[in-house]
Each structure stands twice: as structure tokens, then as C-alpha cells.
Amino acid sequence: MGRSHAGRNCGDYGEVMGMENPSEPPGTALTPDEWRGKEIFFRNFHTKFTYSWDTGVAIGHFLEALKGGKIVGRSCSGCNRVLVPPRMFCELCFRPTDDWIDVLDTGVVNTFSISYVNNDASRREQPLFVAVINIDGASPGMGFLHLLGEVDAGQIHVGMKVRAKWKPAHERTGAITDISYFKPSEGL
Amino acid sequence: MRKVAVIGAGMTKFRHRMLETGRELSFEASRAALDSARMDIKNVDSVVLGSAPDAFDGLHMKGEYLLDGAGGSGKPYTRVYVGGGTGVFIPAAAWWHVASGVSDVVLAVGEEKMSPLQPHPQYAFWSIFDQFLERPLGVTLLWIFSLEMRRYMSVYGIKEEDIALVAVKNKGNAMDHPSAQLPMRITVDDVMKSEPICTPVKRLDVSPTSDGAAALVLASEDVARKYTDDPVWITGVGWNVDTTFWTNRDLCYPEYVEKAAMMAYKMAGISNPGKEIDFAEVYDPFDYKELHHMEGLQLAKRGEAPKMTREGVTQRDGDLPINPSGGLLGVGNPIAAAGVMKVAELFWQLRGEAGRRQVKKPVHRGLAQAWGDLMQVGTVVIMER
């Protein structure tokens, strides 16, 4: 490889870190040329795992409700909260939750972002509007992540009132994407 | 509980892509820490190692993969993991080994090799999200940071320019760190004009992905006094994890960081952290996180960390230096190694060995903090000399 090993034999490292002109800490940085030019040996590997997740009791019911065009939460009589997303137990009271509650398909933008990247850090051609929506009928501050649509980037703001844009009933599959996005529910 | 000292620290360079394997990086950092403590592996009773998601390396059983490089073979060995909070949790877990009397000497190692995953390490974070409610939307880790940054700005009326000052400071501080990956002299304007990634997050608001390792040697009081006249003590540790339902919490304030800090402050007998902590290494994977965490740590009032930053309080020559190392923004962010780097910086600063990074005022007590998972974990270590 023709590179010296910038290893531990470069002195008393604990003191080295503190010296005015410290010697090289150990470790050999690869330059982009070495990496892209494959001047060192690489072993490439690709794998694919396939999963089939049970949606569970709480989220399974939530997704079933979405398929029917409704958003549901779970109530806890211990802390008097309506939990969205629903769960079969309350993490604060640590007891089973009590009842299914129909909440509304409207809410308020808690926070938002305009995303220019995909999940592999590549750039998107069209930015995606993402938000945490506090759902009306759930306890204050409770909601979930979703997308925003039918709105210009410059119009989105924290506190914006929104309503779910549902997919047509025959296209719904019992998934979070049965809601296409949330859109402004009143004049901006 | 027994008193616990830190008697050695070492780290590798932090770089986007290193030649060495994670196992080799772990060895280099561990050997450097032992050399600085003037110890050998035979003196070490047990080893605590931390590393973040296995998906970066594509190696499950990563703790065992790294075992030999971390000096753990044939010893009581533990891998700990709390996402980005791991780095500061490692010395906390090592601390309880010594404080409890289980071990006299513990090697604490943080390792991360993020570069193997193609096309970008960012992709691994996809697997931390809820598989029913979040992944189908195309979620990325950058979303949750941008959503949290927006919420923080919105609730307290904070400007992006004020947040950018943190990136300017930390990347500038890193100019003096020999391991640093992104030391830079930049301006607020450079940050503001850098490419938008997920608004309000821009390219220069973010720390880089990195390869690297860092290690510490912890010892009981009687052992520490044999090896050094001048030990640095761990006087407080704290950790806390809030609900994973992150869309049910107000992201403007990290309550779990407050709870972790209070646990550590109580142990260290600190009642007024803003006055009693001399300097801090606060978790800064994004520039706004430094401000957010200063508030959670009670080093600033809610919404007022930007003002302290603007006034120069958090500079190396300020009243409360924050991230004199250069932080994750400047030194780099090999996740678990970055947290250990912060605790190593406390060690070097408290011993007056930080060279050009040495903060101006005399320092006797420092705090290091990390954060992670789905914006839900705080980890804190307090050290004194």
C-alpha cells in the first residue's frame, strides 16, 4: 500500500493530544481517490432481508380504522388521556387502556420541514413537505408524522389547521398512506 | 459507592472513511488510552464497549466483532447501546463497574465505522423508525432533526442566524484538535447560504458522518493513586429515556436531558449548574442541539441559550465555554466514539493538557452530555479535579 502506519508508535499519546504541535493521532484517512480508485482492497456485499410484521393489537385496529376513513385513539382513565397513536397500555399509568375513541381527521401543524433529500441522502427532484400533526380530539400535543399537500412551501406554518386528504375507499389498504396527506382546512 | 477516577484517554483521527477496520480503530484508541494511563491490558479487570446501529457495518454481533480490538477477550465484557447517547453512556456504565466494587480498572471504548454502508450511512437510520406509521412515508433521520429545530425556533422565537453561530464556533474550535475532520473558519453567512437539506436544516448546520474510536481508563481510588498524583474524578452520572412515541412530546424542550442532568447533579451535589459547571461538552450533532441541550442541562434558561451564544459566553474564553473540543460539528461524529471524545476532552481540559484548545479560565468541574435514539435519551457525566 506504500503508506506508513500512523499508529500508536508515535509517542505518548495522552500527552500528545495536549502538546502545542501534536503528532498525528492514530488512524489512516482514505482519500477520495484511494476510495474511488480502488487502490485498496474492498469486499462488496449486498443482502436483502424480507420481513412480514404483524401490525399488533393497537396499530392493527388503527390501520383498520384508517381503511374505513377514520382516525381512532385509545383512552386511559388513569390519566384521562386520549392516546394517538393508540396503544393497548398506558406507558405512564402502566395499566391497560380502556376504550377506542373516534377522533377527528383534522388537526394542527405542530412542526414542519421541507425535505430535499431521500432516506439514502440523495437529493429529491421535488421537495416533500413533512409535519407532525396534532390530531383534534386527541389529548393536547398528541399526533403523528405525516405529509402536507395542496399548499405552497411559503404558506406552511406552525399552528396551521389541516384536514386529512383520504385516498378513495377502494384504494385504501389499511396503511398510514390511506391518508395521502394533510391539506389546509381553512383560509391561509 | 466507591470513588471513580479517569486516569487515561486516547482517540484516533475522526474521518469520513478510514483504512482501519472498526476492530483496528478500537485497538488504536484503547492502546492510546492505556499508554496515557501507563497501564497494560493485564491491569484491566473489565471492558465496556459502545457502538451504534449494527446496520452501518452490516455486522450483527458487533460487540463481539470488536471485542479483541477493545481488549475485552477473556474478561467481563459488556456492549451498551442507547443510540447517539451511547458515547457518554459508556463511561457511565464503566463507572458503575468501579463504583460498585465489581472492578478496579475498566477500559471504556467507543467505536463507530459508518462508512461501509452505501450509498450513504444515512440510509441505516431508516431502520430506527416505526415500521407501520413512519417508514411508509419515506422518513429520514434528517426529518426529525429539522422538525425538532423548527419546533424549538417556533416556540422561543429563535432565528436561524443565532443557531448558525454554534456551527461557526465549534468548527472554529476544531481547528485546534489534531483528530478533527471538519475544522473550518466559516461565517454565519456561509451557514445561511449552505445548501438546504430539510428546512430549516442546512448543510453547515450538520455534523459529518465519520469513522473513529475513542477510549478511557477508569480506576478505583486506590489504583488511581498508584498511577497518578493527580486523578480526575467522575462525580456524577445520569441517564434517562423518554417515550418512543416522539410525536406525543413537545420537541421544543428535552425533558429527558433535564432528568438525566438532575440525576447527575444530585450525585455530584450541584444545586446551581449554571454557576457550578465550569465548562461543558454538550452534544452537537446539529448546531441547534447545542442550544437545546444547554437548556435541558439547566446551563441556560429556556430559549436563552442563543443569547448566551451571541454574547460570547460559550466561547473558549467566555464565562461558560461550550464544546471547546470543536464538538461533533468540527471534530466529527462517529457516533459512540464522538461521545467518548467529549468525556476525553473533559479529562484533557481538567488536567490542563488541552494545548491550544485549553479554555481560558481555570476549570475544576466539567460536564459531558450525549443524546439520541428517537430524540428520547439523555446521558450525562460530570468530572472534577
State pLDDT tens for residues B184-206: 999 999 999 999 999 999 999 99
Q: Which residue has the cell 475532520?
A: B181
User: Is the pLDDT reported for residue A48 higher than 80?
Assistant: yes
pLDDT band at residue A188, thresholds of 50, 70 and 90?
low
Burial environment of residue B191 by CB neighbours within 10 A (0 to 12, 13 to 18, 19 or more) = buried
Please report, for the domain that includes residue B315, its CATH number.
3.40.47.10
A46 contacts B376 by C-beta, under 8 angstroms:
no
Could you tell me if B186 lies within 8 Å of chain A, comparing CB atoms? no
Return the SS3 of B36: helix
Identify whether residues A109 and A175 lie together within a single domain: yes
3-state helix, strand, coil in chain A (%, to 5): 15, 35, 50
Residue B32 distance to chain A (closest CA, Å) = 6
A35-61: average pLDDT: 89
- Listed residues A84, A103, A122: the one ending a domain: A103
- Listed residues A103, A122, A153: the one ending a domain: A103
pLDDT band at residue A11, thresholds of 50, 70 and 90?
very low
Domain assignment of residue B133, yes or no: no
C-alpha to C-alpha distance for B277 and B110, rounded to whole angstroms: 25
Identify whether residues A117 and A172 lie together within a single domain: yes
pLDDT band at residue A120, thresholds of 50, 70 and 90?
confident
Domain assignment of residue B138, yes or no: no
Helix axes B255-268, B287-296, angle to 10 degrees: 50
Please report, for the domain that includes residue A130, its CATH number.
2.40.50
Cross-strand pairs, B67: none
Q: How many CB atoms lie within 10 A of CB B81?
A: 19
Mean pLDDT, chain A, integer: 88
Amino acid at A114: I
Among A25-39, A56-70, B302-316, B358-372, the least confident range: A25-39
B85-109: average pLDDT: 98
- What is the reported pLDDT for A41? 85
Residue A17 distance to chain B (closest CA, Å) = 7
Could you tell me if B196 lies within 8 Å of chain A, comparing CB atoms? yes
Residue B175 distance to chain A (closest CA, Å) = 12
- The answer to whether A29 contacts B15, with C-beta atoms less than 8 Å apart, is yes
- The answer to whether A7 contacts B142, with C-beta atoms less than 8 Å apart, is no
Among all residues of chain B, which has the CA nearest to that of A90? B243
Residue A184 distance to chain B (closest CA, Å) = 19
Residue A125 neighbours by CB under 8 Å, 6+ apart: none
Summarize pLDDT for B256-303 with one digit per residue, the tens. 999 999 999 999 999 999 999 999 999 999 999 999 999 999 999 999
- The answer to whether A8 contacts B32, with C-beta atoms less than 8 Å apart, is yes
Q: Is the dihedral of CA B136, B142, B144, B146 positive or negative?
A: negative
Residue B71 distance to chain A (closest CA, Å) = 15
Identify whether residues A99 and A111 lie together within a single domain: no
User: Is the pLDDT reported for residue A90 higher than 50?
Assistant: yes
- Listed residues A88, A103, A118: the one ending a domain: A103
Domain assignment of residue B85, yes or no: yes
Domain assignment of residue B99, yes or no: yes
- What is the reported pLDDT for A186? 81
Summarize pLDDT for B130-175 with one digit per residue, the tens. 999 999 999 999 999 999 999 999 999 999 999 999 999 999 999 9
Q: Which residue has the cell 466561547?
A: B315
Mean pLDDT, chain B, integer: 97
Domain assignment of residue A45, yes or no: no
Summarize pLDDT for B345-359 with one digit per residue, the tens. 999 999 999 999 999
B201 contacts B147 by C-beta, under 8 angstroms:
no
Report H helices in B269-334. 273-276, 287-296, 305-310, 327-330
pLDDT band at residue A42, thresholds of 50, 70 and 90?
confident
Q: Cell for B33? A: 488510552
Domain assignment of residue B256, yes or no: yes
B48-71: average pLDDT: 93
Ramachandran class of B377: left when φ > 0, alpha when ψ lies in -120 to 50, beta otherwise:
beta
Owning domain of residue A153: 105-188
Identify whether residues A122 and A97 lie together within a single domain: no
Question: Structural domain tally of chain B?
Answer: 1
> Which chain A residues are Cβ-neighbours of B176 within 8 angstroms?
none
Chain B (41-100) residues lying within 8 Å, Cβ to Cβ, of chain A = 58
In order of A16, B73, B323, B352, B360, the CA distances from A20 in angstroms are 9, 36, 19, 12, 15
C-alpha to C-alpha distance for A75 and A81, rounded to whole angstroms: 6
Identify whether residues A151 and A184 lie together within a single domain: yes
Identify whether residues A82 and A157 lie together within a single domain: no
Considering only CA atoms, which of B168, B22, B6 is closest in space to residue B98?
A: B6
Among A151-155, B54-58, B251-255, the least confident range: B54-58
Identify whether residues A91 and A122 lie together within a single domain: no
Identify whether residues A174 and A184 lie together within a single domain: yes
- What is the reported pLDDT for B119? 87
- What is the reported pLDDT for A22? 56
Considering only CA atoms, which of B299, B281, B286 is closest in space to residue B369?
A: B281
- What is the reported pLDDT for A19? 38
> Which chain A residues are Cβ-neighbours of B354 within 8 angstroms?
17-18
Domain assignment of residue B130, yes or no: no
User: Is the pLDDT reported for residue A130 higher than 90?
Assistant: yes
Among B122-131, B221-230, B239-248, the least confident range: B122-131
> Which chain B residues are Cβ-neighbours of A13 within 8 angstroms?
10, 32, 35-36
Owning domain of residue B376: 4-118+208-384
- What is the reported pLDDT for A17? 52
Identify whether residues A121 and A182 lie together within a single domain: yes
Among all residues of chain A, which has the CA nearest to that of B133? A176
Summarize pLDDT for B303-335 with one digit per residue, the tens. 999 999 999 999 999 999 999 999 999 999 999
Question: Structural domain tally of chain A?
Answer: 2
As for the ipTM of the complex, it is 0.94
- What is the reported pLDDT for A3? 35
DSSP A85: S
